[in-house]
Amino acid sequence: MSSLYNIKIENLKGVGKKRGELFNKLGVYSIGQLLNYYPRTYEDWSSVKDISDVENGEVTCIKGQVCSAINSGYTRSGKIITKLQVSDETGVIELVYFNNRYISSMLKYGETYCFYGKISKNLYGIQMTAPEFAKDCDSAIKPIYNLTAGLTNRMVINSVKQALEMLPETVNDPIPDNIRDKFNLVNLKFALNNIHFPENQFALTVAKNRLIIEELLVLNLGLRQLKNHKREKNKNLITKDYSKEFESSLPYNLTNAQKRAVSDCVRDMMNKEITLNRLVQGDVGSGKTAVAASVSYSAIKNGMQVAFMAPTELLAEQHYNTFKELFSNTNISVGLLTGKLKQSEKNKVRKSLETGEIHIVIGTHALITENTVFNNLGLVITDEQHRFGVAQRAKLLSKGNNPHLLVMSATPIPRTLGLIIFGDLDISIIDELPPGRQEIETLLITDDKRQRAFNFIRSEIQKGRQAYIVCPLVEEGETDLASAEEYAAELMLNFFNDIPVGILHGKMKSADKERVMEQFFSNQLKMLVATTVIEVGIDVPNATIMMIENAERFGLSQLHQLRGRVGRGKEKSYCILVSNYDYGTSFERLKTMCTTGDGFKIADADLKLRGPGDFFGSRQHGLPELKISSFADTESLALSQKIADFIITDSHYLTDDRYRGIKAEISRLFTEIGDSSLN
Ligand code: ADP
Ligand code: MG
């Protein structure tokens, strides 16, 4: 198998330079990668239903004889509409096609075909709209691939078939026999054959399961290896814990959860055998900044420098002000280093970092550049870590002598997943909010109540508050969702023409984004219409209301993140979720948002309902791209974890040839994210 990653896709019959480039667009360059290009979904032609048994809304296959003439006409909007009837022994169904001129020449009266499509049942009978059809039901489960213009599903199928034939008789399986036997997993060859061309539904299930387990296992073992790598002896040992002293300088008492997180970190830094390498995970508003400040305080008092990296300039500035305030009665000097500073200012800050005059520097990516040199960097802190890849983190770490690492994240992640995604870090969880926080009142409304919602928003603004309106990003080829700009234009024209509204979307230059945020921050703008780019961690306490359009489009965790932008001040805050649906699972899902404000509960619900795809997004966590694990469920997540534990504790892991295959897969996966420490 592994050698197939070295054979270019162009070597397949029927794939020349041009078609090869189309495959490249999909991220497929080699035969091996084609075999890992798994179907998006399947059409199950293997179980043919009687027409009398079909149900409204189901996608199914029927087999029947064309029993009417094939008639074409025009719809009122000028589309060609073709209708025909098909019968089996149990009933009759009407088929409808739009703008398909070829149907009447492809289907023949009196002949029998299989049809595959979505059933609709109403007063007038049973219909299928634009079903696929085939002369022989080859009783197969047909793979459906994600495509790109110029590449058809059939072409991909043909290529995959050839690729599968190139697999040797016995494929070297990265999961060794002993593990497969023990945990009941099918072998790689069976899995690859059946993920593409399943023999039946059961074979598909076990194939998928096996591939998910392998992928999670490779990820998990790889991350654990990273952790071992960083677990060198403590080169920045601290001898005294100053957290009590720091705490007494605060205007409030730390919560127990905050105290636990601080002492976890300080304990690690005082341990000779290890280096602090920890994630502090806490919901928005749980007070992670104070934790970071306390840990920094102890580090600095023990003679080290601290670097604190934030994902945007605005967040860096915010933290800079907070730290200056927190350290105002000490002799600790705080510096700021962002790309926005004048060159002379940057030079000055860099100089003082090199001499050690600055004890803690807050900054953006400017911290990572070559010419930033530290005197004695002992602790690196990154905020909202999912914005940074593992590789960038490593770069900042390289500026010290194996400094301690503290990563902070506001994205609650279910425990099972956290262990995998953050396999390279120890975890402390802040599961408690400071006292006196108000719940954000969350309302779920349908489209038709929008006008009332706007009136409510207006009344909040008249009280002097500010508002966010979130509309989803327009995906390519999608027209039914309003883009931020059009949407904002419409709002300003029709509802809020007397109110200063700002727009924020992903296509804007970052300087423009920052300018808009700045204006919102300083209360010049009363309303921000934005796609999901609203800065994570941005703190505008005066914003008390958020409305989220097409809420059903978002994962719950994402909604929770967005909602966390309000409810940051003393005033009561609101979140209005707008959805076109007031029934079904997506509606039920959204109702969870109205009943709990607990990010971890919400994340659990999200995992159960949607699977881990939302959490795995590679941009989210700087992880390598996963091919199939978004289909994982709680059981496969737990099983992969169990197998990883088993392998790690197997004393042969480091030396045994059996594990060579899986190690090769680990280094292949992690090369993509540029971490060469695993090679
Ligand atoms: P996040 O975890 O989202 O980064 P912050 O660190 O920004 O949260 O804290 C949110 C707010 O809560 C800040 O205004 C901070 O001063 C305040 N805060 C933090 N810890 C406490 C506490 N123990 N008691 C009261 N207020 C606190
Ligand atoms: Mg924060």
β-pairing verdict for 305-309 and 574-579: unpaired
Cβ atoms 344, 291 nearer than 8 A: no
Query: What was the pLDDT predicted at 21?
Result: 95
Q: Is the pLDDT of residue 479 over 70?
A: no
Q: Whose CA is nearest to atom 19 of ligand 1?
A: 287
- Residues 189-201 have a mean pLDDT of 95
Q: Where are the beta strands (DSSP E) in 580-631?
A: none
CATH class label, 441-596: alpha beta
Q: Whose CA is nearest to atom 9 of ligand 1?
A: 287
Burial 476-495 (b: 16+ CB within 10 A, else e): eeeeeebbbbebbeebbeeb
Closest ligand (CA of 384): 2
Q: Which percentage of the chain shows pLDDT scores above 90?
A: 50
Residue 600: enclosing H or E segment and its boundaries? helix 599-610
What are residue 362's DSSP bridge partners?
308, 336
Q: Where are the beta strands (DSSP E) in 15-77?
A: 41-44, 48-49, 59-66, 71-74
Q: At 622, list the tokens.
A: 């700087």
- Residues 628-651 have a mean pLDDT of 85
CB of 32 shorter than 6 A to ligand 1: no
CB of 410 shorter than 6 A to ligand 1: yes
Q: Whose CA is nearest to atom 25 of ligand 1?
A: 434
Of 98, 143, 93, the C-alpha closest to 119 is 93
CB of 282 shorter than 6 A to ligand 1: yes
Closest ligand (CA of 599): 1
For residue 449, give the 3-state DSSP assignment.
Answer: helix
Residue 57: Cβ within 10 Å count: 9
Cβ atoms 98, 80 nearer than 8 A: yes
CB of 287 shorter than 6 A to ligand 1: yes
Query: What was the pLDDT predicted at 672?
Result: 55
Atom of ligand 1 nearest to the CA of 253: 23
| Greatest CA separation for the chain | 92
Q: Which of 183-192, 451-460, 553-562, 626-635 has the lowest mean pLDDT?
A: 626-635
Higher pLDDT pick, 1 / 98:
98
For residue 586, give the 3-state DSSP assignment.
Answer: helix
What confidence tens digit (pLDDT) does each residue in 332-343 have? 999 999 988 999
Distance from the CA of 280 to the center of ligand 2, in angstroms? Answer: 11
Domain covering 243-430 assigned CATH 3.40.50.300 in the classification: yes
What confidence tens digit (pLDDT) does each residue in 262-298 have? 999 999 999 998 899 899 998 878 899 999 999 999 9
Strands ordered across the beta sheet of 527-530: 441-446, 574-579, 543-548, 466-470, 527-530, 501-504
Q: At 611, list the tokens.
A: 């699977």
Rounded Cα–Cα distance for residues 312 and 315 (Å): 5
Q: Name every residue whose Cβ is closer than 8 Å to that of residue 345 and which is 6 or more positions away in sequence.
A: none
Q: Whose CA is nearest to atom 20 of ligand 1?
A: 287
CB of 575 shorter than 6 A to ligand 1: no
Q: At 326, list the tokens.
A: 């927190």
Distance from the CA of 125 to the center of ligand 1, in angstroms? Answer: 61
Question: Residue 36 to residues 28, 160, 161, 412, 616: CA-CA distances in angstroms?
Answer: 9, 10, 13, 30, 17
Q: Is-same-fold flag (47-134; 243-430)?
A: no
Residue 301: enclosing H or E segment and its boundaries? helix 288-301
Of 102, 126, 130, the C-alpha closest to 115 is 130
Q: Whose CA is nearest to atom 13 of ligand 1?
A: 287
What confidence tens digit (pLDDT) does each residue in 439-452 have? 899 999 998 898 99
If one residue of 249, 284, 286 were mutated to test the ligand 1 pocket, choosing by the most ligand atoms within 8 A of its CB, it would be 286
Query: What was the pLDDT predicted at 58?
Result: 87
Question: Residue 187 to residues 30, 422, 633: CA-CA distances in angstroms?
Answer: 22, 28, 20
Task: Look up residue 370 and give its DSSP letter.
Answer: T
Distance from the CA of 564 to the center of ligand 2, in angstroms? Answer: 11
Q: Which of 122-126, 382-386, 528-532 has the lowest mean pLDDT?
A: 382-386
CB of 284 shorter than 6 A to ligand 1: yes
Atom of ligand 1 nearest to the CA of 286: 2
CB of 411 shorter than 6 A to ligand 1: no
Atom of ligand 1 nearest to the CA of 254: 23
Q: Which of 14-18, 20-24, 470-474, 600-604 has the lowest mean pLDDT?
A: 470-474
In the chain, where are the structural domains located? 47-134, 168-230+634-679, 243-430, 441-596
CATH class label, 47-134: mainly beta
CB of 569 shorter than 6 A to ligand 1: no
CB of 252 shorter than 6 A to ligand 1: yes
CB of 254 shorter than 6 A to ligand 1: yes
Closest ligand (CA of 291): 1
Residue 464: Cβ within 10 Å count: 11
Query: What was the pLDDT predicted at 135?
Result: 84
Query: What was the pLDDT predicted at 162?
Result: 96
- Whose tokens are 């508050």? That residue is 465
Burial 373-409 (b: 16+ CB within 10 A, else e): ebeebbbbbbbbbbbbbbebbbbbbebbebbbbbbbb
Closest ligand (CA of 287): 1
CB of 290 shorter than 6 A to ligand 1: yes
Query: What was the pLDDT predicted at 490?
Result: 81
Phi first, then psi: give them for residue 42, nearest 5 degrees.
-135, 150
If one residue of 247, 252, 327 were mutated to test the ligand 1 pocket, choosing by the most ligand atoms within 8 A of its CB, it would be 252
